[in-house]
């Protein structure tokens, strides 16, 4: 009788996925220290923690992309051996990596079906017709306008993210890991993602969801596990937690996550652009930003915000238009020209444009301003180290030493190094494209404080952000873009979420 009862109980409560007492040590870093995680069928489980807490490491182990030092993984109560990505796929574990894993020169459709292409009747050939019709269906289901035949390197970051999501969710998976799937998405895509999650849930799929945006956790997650410094802290029903409690569990102390805007004295226009145009992309863009001013640029993904600042920075061509820095017309043909003119661009895409991943934290920090550290052809190493140490402290970059190569840093900490690098160039006009993407709540306020300091010393700041609270909180003035043009301008006083969304979606 007792035996039967306990058998039934076991059947009812056996989690779809369990990770027990996982350990992982990297040189100088204990990434995972006795971490356990249990996820039921049809459960969306949030995995939370500050930058460098160990979330991605735990998930890479589950996806067979990293080896654990010790610990056990079980699926439906049976121990499994996940020692390669192929093994994970065979077991029905699918992952959306924080750093994209797409092959840039293949099409969206080819990426979605990579390694499991539908076979044609003739052996050895791929049935492309089927591949494209099926991948197009998956993309359409996500509500994104992406042609499955487009090569991935032609897609924007947000579109690439949607392809990643399509790829991971089109497999018949039992467990889907989403490592910051939403970082690059705006509201429209987010709604599609949440609908997809709810559908997967109704099909019995287990989902592990990592995000630094806590609102999302409350919206789609059932339970949450919080990690801190590689350790398991707690697992709770999301319904039993408040935002403040989660933050406190994550950082281990009380923290106000307010946006500490300090308005700075404004000077003359530091950057003025007039009639910037590029066929099919940008239409007659004109605006200026003054010394000490923070100009926010809002808009939906694909509105042309990144394209605008890349054109100013000389990274993309322009058909017409002029750029003035401190009242003088400048001719910028490359990012090098832009840097010489005192313009810096902190990109949203740290992997491709922001960092040299094989170089250390120190080297990346000083890379774009080595001239300032060089005498008679020699780099003044002591000073260089002091500078790198200062940014490590100011931005709370989590790394054992400044001599760590940046590819070994967690996603959020890599983003902080990108910031450090641009802060050190001493640019007069700093453009931030999604500066806090993937940055945890505690470090976000550090970045806002730094922006205040830059504005106070007279720098002009342009900030592109898809997070409306951040745009509203930090901007002195807001431009809203829609379909490659400026749809409207709002002062800090008059701006609201509703007004921004109205302009961003093409309202008058
Ligand atoms: N290959 C590696 N070599 C050395 N250290 C590593 C490596 N990968 C990760 N780490 C370290 O392990 C720790 C945990 O990193 P992990 O990427 O799991 O953090 P995370 O919780 O995903 O953070 P984020 O929110 O920034 O993405 C960090 O201190 C990181 O620097
Ligand atoms: Mg991570």
445-503: pLDDT as tens digits: 888 988 998 999 999 999 999 888 899 999 999 999 999 999 999 999 999 999 998 99
Shared-domain flag, residues 236 and 295: no
Q: Residue 429's beta-bridge partner residues?
A: 343, 460
Token pair, residue 219, equals 């919206």
In a domain, 190, yes or no: yes
In a domain, 264, yes or no: no
Token pair, residue 354, equals 């922001």
**Residue 455 Cα to ligand 2 middle (Å):** 30
In a domain, 498, yes or no: yes
Residues with CB under 6 A from ligand 1: 26, 29, 31, 49, 51-57, 98, 398-399, 408-413
Shared-domain flag, residues 122 and 241: yes
> Which contiguous run of DSSP H or E holds residue 128?
helix 128-141
Atom of ligand 1 nearest to the CA of 212: 25
Phi first, then psi, for residue 324 (nearest 5°) are -120, 135
In a domain, 262, yes or no: no
In a domain, 5, yes or no: no
With vertex at residue 446, the alpha carbon angle to CA 443 and CA 451, rounded to the nearest 5 degrees, is 130
**Residue 189 Cα to ligand 1 middle (Å):** 27
- The closest ligand to the CA of 30 turns out to be 1
**Residue 49 Cα to ligand 2 middle (Å):** 9
Shared-domain flag, residues 188 and 294: no
pLDDT at 5: 52
In a domain, 256, yes or no: no
Range of the domain at 174: 10-251
Residue ending a domain, among 217, 251, 285, is 251
Please, where are the H alpha helices in 142-242?
157-170, 187-202, 214-220
Shared-domain flag, residues 300 and 435: yes
CATH of the domain at 280: 3.40.50.300
Atom of ligand 1 nearest to the CA of 438: 25
Atom of ligand 1 nearest to the CA of 49: 21
Residue ending a domain, among 199, 219, 251, is 251
**Total domains present in the chain:** 2
- The closest ligand to the CA of 35 turns out to be 1
pLDDT at 471: 94
In a domain, 368, yes or no: yes
Contact 368, 420 (CB under 8 A): no
Q: How far apart are alpha carbons 412 and 470 in whole angstroms?
A: 17
Q: How far apart are alpha carbons 53 and 217 in whole angstroms?
A: 17
List the residue whose alpha carbon is closest to atom 27 of ligand 1. Answer: 411
Shared-domain flag, residues 221 and 109: yes
Shared-domain flag, residues 340 and 446: yes
DSSP letter string over 1-42? -HHHHHHHHHHHH--SEEEEEEEEEETTEEEEEEEEEEE-TT
Atom of ligand 1 nearest to the CA of 404: 4
Q: Residue 285's beta-bridge partner residues?
A: 276
DSSP letter string over 138-164? HHHHTT----TTSBGGGS-HHHHHHHH
DSSP letter string over 51-98? TTSSHHHHHHHHTTSS--SEEEEEETTEEE---SHHHHHHTTEEEE-S
Q: How far apart are alpha carbons 277 and 17 in whole angstroms?
A: 52
Q: How far apart are alpha carbons 487 and 428 in whole angstroms?
A: 27
Q: How far apart are alpha carbons 464 and 475 in whole angstroms?
A: 10
Contact 237, 223 (CB under 8 A): yes
In 3D space, the residue among 190, 248, 245, 255 whose CA is nearest the CA of residue 219 turns out to be 190
Q: How far apart are alpha carbons 26 and 231 in whole angstroms?
A: 15
List the residue whose alpha carbon is closest to atom 2 of ligand 1. Answer: 408
Shared-domain flag, residues 334 and 206: no
**Residue 22 Cα to ligand 1 middle (Å):** 15
Residue ending a domain, among 196, 217, 251, is 251
**Residue 179 Cα to ligand 2 middle (Å):** 7
Residues whose CB falls within 8 Å of the CB of residue 200, separated by 6 or more in sequence, listed in order:
169, 176, 207
Q: How far apart are alpha carbons 222 and 244 in whole angstroms?
A: 18
Shared-domain flag, residues 324 and 218: no
Atom of ligand 1 nearest to the CA of 66: 1
Ligand 2 (single-atom ion) residues, CB below 5 Å = 56, 98, 410-411
Residues (pLDDT < 50) of the chain are 1-3, 9-11
- The closest ligand to the CA of 97 turns out to be 2
End-to-end CA distance of the chain: 71
Long-range contacts of 499-507 (CB under 8 A, 24+ apart): 500/298, 500/468, 500/471, 500/472, 501/187, 501/468, 503/298, 504/298, 504/299, 504/300, 504/303, 504/480, 505/300, 506/482
Long-range contacts of 235-242 (CB under 8 A, 24+ apart): 235/37, 235/38, 238/46
Exposure on the CB side of residue 143, measured as CA atoms within 13 A: 12
Which of 25, 27, 31 should be mutated for ligand 1, with most atoms under 8 A from CB? Answer: 31
Shared-domain flag, residues 240 and 275: no
Which of 23, 24, 26, 183 should be mutated for ligand 1, with most atoms under 8 A from CB? Answer: 26
Shared-domain flag, residues 241 and 274: no
pLDDT at 2: 45
In a domain, 380, yes or no: yes
Token pair, residue 164, equals 């990643």
DSSP letter string over 40-62? -TT-EEEEE-STTSSHHHHHHHH
Shared-domain flag, residues 238 and 274: no
- The closest ligand to the CA of 47 turns out to be 1
Atom of ligand 1 nearest to the CA of 57: 18
Contact 71, 79 (CB under 8 A): no
Contact 338, 312 (CB under 8 A): yes
Shared-domain flag, residues 341 and 409: yes
């Amino acid at each position: 009788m007792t035996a039967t009862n306990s058998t039934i109980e076991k059947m009812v409560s056996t989690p779809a996925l369990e990770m027990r007492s996982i350990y992982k040590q990297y040189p100088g870093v204990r990434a995972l220290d006795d971490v356990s995680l249990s996820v039921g069928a049809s459960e969306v489980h949030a995995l939370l923690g500050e930058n460098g807490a160990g979330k991605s490491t735990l998930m890479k182990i589950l996806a067979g992309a990293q080896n654990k030092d010790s610990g056990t993984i079980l699926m439906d109560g049976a121990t499994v051996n996940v020692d390669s990505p192929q093994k994970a796929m065979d077991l029905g574990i699918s992952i959306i990596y924080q750093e994209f894993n797409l092959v840039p020169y293949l099409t969206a459709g080819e990426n979605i079906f990579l390694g499991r292409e539908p076979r044609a009747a003739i052996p050895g050939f791929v049935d492309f017709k089927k591949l494209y019709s099926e991948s197009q269906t998956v993309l359409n289901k996500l509500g994104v306008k992406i042609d499955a035949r487009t090569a991935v390197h032609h897609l924007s970051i947000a579109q690439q993210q949607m392809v990643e999501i399509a790829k991971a969710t089109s497999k018949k998976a039992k467990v889907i890991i989403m490592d910051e799937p939403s970082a690059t998405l705006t509201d429209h895509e987010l709604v599609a993602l949440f609908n997809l999650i709810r559908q997967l849930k109704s099909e019995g799929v287990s989902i592990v969801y990592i995000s630094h945006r806590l609102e999302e956790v409350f919206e789609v997650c059932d339970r949450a596990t919080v990690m801190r410094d590689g350790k398991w802290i707690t697992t709770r029903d999301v319904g039993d937690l408040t935002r403040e409690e989660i933050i406190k569990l994550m950082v281990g102390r009380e923290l106000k996550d307010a946006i500490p805007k300090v308005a700075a004295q404004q000077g003359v226009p530091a950057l003025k652009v007039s009639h910037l145009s590029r066929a099919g992309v940008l239409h007659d863009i004109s605006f200026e930003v003054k010394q000490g001013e923070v100009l926010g640029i809002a808009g939906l993904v694909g509105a042309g915000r990144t394209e605008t600042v890349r054109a100013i920075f000389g990274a993309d061509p322009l058909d017409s238009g002029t750029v003035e820095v401190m009242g003088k017309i400048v001719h910028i043909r490359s990012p090098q020209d832009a840097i010489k003119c005192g313009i810096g661009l902190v990109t949203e895409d740290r992997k491709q444009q922001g960092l040299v991943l094989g170089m250390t934290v120190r080297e990346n920090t000083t890379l774009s301003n080595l001239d300032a550290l060089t005498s008679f052809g020699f780099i003044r190493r002591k000073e260089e180290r002091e500078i790198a140490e200062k940014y490590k402290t100011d931005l709370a970059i989590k790394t054992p030493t400044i001599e760590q190569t940046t590819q070994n840093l967690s996603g959020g900490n890599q983003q902080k190094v990108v910031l450090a690098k641009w802060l050190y160039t001493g640019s007069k006009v700093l453009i931030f494209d999604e500066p806090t993407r993937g940055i945890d709540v505690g470090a976000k306020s550090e970045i806002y404080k730094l922006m205040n300091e830059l504005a106070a010393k007279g720098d002009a700041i342009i900030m592109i952000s898809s997070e409306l609270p951040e745009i509203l909180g930090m901007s002195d003035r807001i431009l809203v873009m829609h379909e490659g043009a400026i749809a409207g301008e709002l002062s800090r006083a008059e701006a609201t979420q509703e007004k921004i969304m109205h302009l961003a979606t093409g309202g008058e």
